[in-house]
Structure 1
Amino acid sequence: MAALTIFPAIDLKGGQVVRLAEGDMDRATIYGDNPAAQAELFAKAGSQHLHVVDLDGAFAGESVNGAAVESIIKAFGGKVQVGGGIRDRAAVDRWLGLGVDRVIIGTAALKDPEFVKSAARDLPERIVVGVDARDGMVATEGWADVSDVTVEDLARRFEDAGVAALLFTDVGRDGLLKGCNVDATVALAKAVNIPVIASGGVADINDIYALRPHVANGIEGVITGRALYDGRLDLAQAIAAGRA
């Protein structure tokens, strides 16, 4: 069986490393002011994949923390996926040109699906669709708005487009250490033929063990942030558990 990829997360707000509670910019915990140094720590722990979000960009609709992301890419050395405010092809090309491995598109996947499909066709394995859910419905604009589209309906729109993966986040658990919503994540993976990355609420190593058997069902990986920063999850142990 393939390994479950562990993606440590660096969320950027005003150039600082933060974690939000339920995507609320007013509920941000600052974990550091040197994103590149944080990326180096993750690399030293054995990580070859990194998840970076430009939180300011998600609300602004364009890149805000570009300089910080560039410093992360140089420091990390592995594969970096980036999301937050990527709403057009120019933004996609700019990130890929800077050395990003994959770009994550959320709001535009709902509001401009043809742009996403076109990018996915032109750039195989480089486009990840962010499917953010609040009570099963798709949330956009940095999770500020909730649509009337279900998670599975949105995911199915991209089944034949060649997207690399779906990034599924349960917004109601994100940053709260409540545990990953394994059931909803697996249900999505079984409903579509696109690999799914779990996100939101990872509390400790038990979440890794809970997701690991579902690699066979299409779960590609899991993103973890606050559990790492709070010392509840050891990254090297998580990577080992993902391979076990």
Structure 2
Amino acid sequence: MSEDGLTITKGAAIRQGLAAVALFGAMGIALWVSEESVNSSGEPKPVTCSHGEPEKTPAQTPVEAGHVSGAQLCEALHRPDLADLLGTPGEAVKNANGGSRTFKPVGSDEEIHTPSGKVEFETYTVSLRASYDGLKVATVAEFLGDGTLPLTVLGHPAAYYSDRTITISFNLDGSDASTGSGVPTRSLVVARGPEDGGGSYELTLWRSDGTVPDDAVVLRVAEKVLPTVPGWAAAG
């Protein structure tokens, strides 16, 4: 029996559920799918940002002012010095992808889009998600935070929280999918603007060896990556 698998974080699922409950009373889950690329000789190509699930075209889903796409988030993450920022210089990118998931809360005709990008190395996986759900960082910290003091990152309200990945395996023989607990993650949620007016960027790191990512590493990546995201609002 063969399997196909993908990984999410519990925090991402909980947060999207919070947003749905706060706005409309429903719950959705964001998933990522990764893919690899090889050339005709069977050797790996230089990895570029691909799409596990293609995003809807602008004709299908108009991009709202100030919103980014999963492709743009992936490009912001997939910078030449990312391995150096992670403290693993010389490591090559294994996978990079971006996409957008949507959910339509019960009783509403509105679709909520959650774009995300992800870059995977041998040691670290880094994901960046944009949330336009109206939730404030203070609310996210209340439900997911670990008691750390409120932060200001790049002049924006921010908060850390810890989590674990969830691995979902789909059996290709048609039998039921199975889930399991994965590795620890560390996330930094940063408000989209200098005021905590709702919506945020969420940077999440996890390590293949199961070691909890250090906050200094998460912060170092955030301070370099976030200002390069299209539409980032610099603090005055």
Normalised by the length of structure 2, the TM-score is 0.24
Normalised by the length of structure 1, the TM-score is 0.24
Q: Which has the higher helix share?
A: 1
- Asked which structure has the greater CA Rg, the reply is 2
